[in-house]
Amino acid sequence: MKIHEYQAKEILKSYGVPVPRGRVAETPEEAGRIAKEMGTETIVVKAQIHAGGRGKGGGVQVVHSAHQAQNAAKKILGTTLVTHQTGPAGRIVRKALIEEGVEIEEELYLGMVVDRSEACPVIMASREGGVEIEKVAAESPEKIIKEWISPVTGLRPFHPNKIGFGLGLDLGQVGKMRGILSGLYRAFIGKDCLLAEINPLVLTKGGDLIALDAKMNFDDNGLFRHKEIAALRDLNEEDPLEIEASKYNLNYIKLNGNVGCMVNGAGLAMATMDIIKVAGADPANFLDVGGGATAEMVKNGFEILMTDKDVKVVLINIFGGILRCDTLAEGVTEAVSEVKVKVPVVVRLEGTNVEEGRRILNESGLNFIVAQGMKEAAEKVVEALKRQ
């Protein structure tokens, strides 16, 4: 799960990481008031959306009075911001962070993720801050310091020492780095993060280190033990169909094609998308109704698929295994008549009682195209598309 910059900063601040003074505003008037109260010479107005690249997209403005801050917020709030991470559709800006300006001497990078291969968190630091770390990693990997943190030791004082001196910071700065790393680490572990990033971590003209931007992604599997984090979910940042699907516990992701897919199991669902592509068509979505695919889930799946106007053909690919195909076929038949599916539906079922399942589909009087095997299913999808 993702959260906004201002929320990430609040969390990091509560763990002792220095962040600029600031508050979030939802209207230009509120922005003006906040700026006035802060009373600083320089004020930064930052659009809050779940995507990077906001500065380049015009979502970050530096101003010098409360009045200007209000005007900047007026420009930013309500607009659709397009960045390289939002896709061409962009995101509507609903909140802006009003912050005191900071005099920047240098921009550093500090981040922490879970390293899958090493099976432990890794802290990454670099003097090349302010740009995407992937870019630094690709172009000059030697400029990134990595410290893997064993769960046996946790973060120890030697880690920030290695990182701080490794970056070439002076003794006083290393001391400040120790506090920041300790906060970052405790927030990461304490809130079940998968990623926590301070980019840039700014070295100010006054010699302080301060988190100018912050990003945190949380482990969905850990949310059950952090209700306060789960509450930060912003539905405005998600696709409405995906929100609807998540209410039914369905894994749904909208894509650009016109073949609606319904599959049991994530791997098979991806493979089904791939075979549709191989056959010469494009999947409209990823939809995993769960390995155990019940008739109920299939019905819910249809509800979602039929809301997507791009869908011209539906492909159901279910490898039941232990599941009985006759029961499943009855469920599919019921769902198609209840949800009033108007497009052709190609069905591929496999599992116990598969013959009986196919008979039920064939004799249902509904618009089913029954296929045997994935290859035939994909080919029949393409044929059905061509007929339209």
CB of 257 vs another protein, minimal distance in Å? 9
* N residues, the chain: 388
Residue 220 found at the interface with another protein (CB under 8 A): yes
Candidate residues 23, 42, 68, 114; the one interacting with another protein per rule CB under 8 A? 114
Residue of 6, 109, 185, 252 marked active site:
109
How far is the C-alpha of 184 from the C-alpha of 165, rounded, in Å?
A: 18
Is 197 noted as a catalytic residue in this protein? Answer: yes
Dihedral sign, Cα of residue 370, residue 375, residue 376, residue 378? positive
Residue 134 found at the interface with another protein (CB under 8 A): yes
Candidate residues 141, 267, 296, 307; the one interacting with another protein per rule CB under 8 A? 267
Tell me which residue of 205, 335, 89 sits closest to 347, measured CA to CA. 335
How far is the C-alpha of 387 from the C-alpha of 380, rounded, in Å?
A: 11
Q: Enter the tokens of residue 216.
A: 């945190």
The stretch near another protein (CB under 8 A) out of 166-174, 280-288, 328-336, 358-366 is: 280-288
- Closer to another protein by CB, 104 or 255: give it: 255
In the DSSP assignment, the letter for residue 179 is H
Candidate residues 35, 82, 378, 384; the one interacting with another protein per rule CB under 8 A? 378
Candidate residues 78, 266, 296, 363; the one interacting with another protein per rule CB under 8 A? 266
Residue 255 found at the interface with another protein (CB under 8 A): yes
Grouping H, G, I as helix, E, B as strand and the rest as coil, residue 357 is: helix
How far is the C-alpha of 278 from the C-alpha of 274, rounded, in Å?
A: 6
The string of DSSP letters for 212-233 reads S--EEEE-GGGGGG-HHHHTT-
Q: Which residues bind another protein (CB under 8 A)?
A: 85, 114, 116-117, 119-121, 132-134, 137, 150-152, 189, 192, 194, 219-222, 224-225, 251, 253, 255, 263-278, 282-283, 286, 288, 291, 319-322, 350-352, 373-375, 378
Catalytic residues: 109, 197
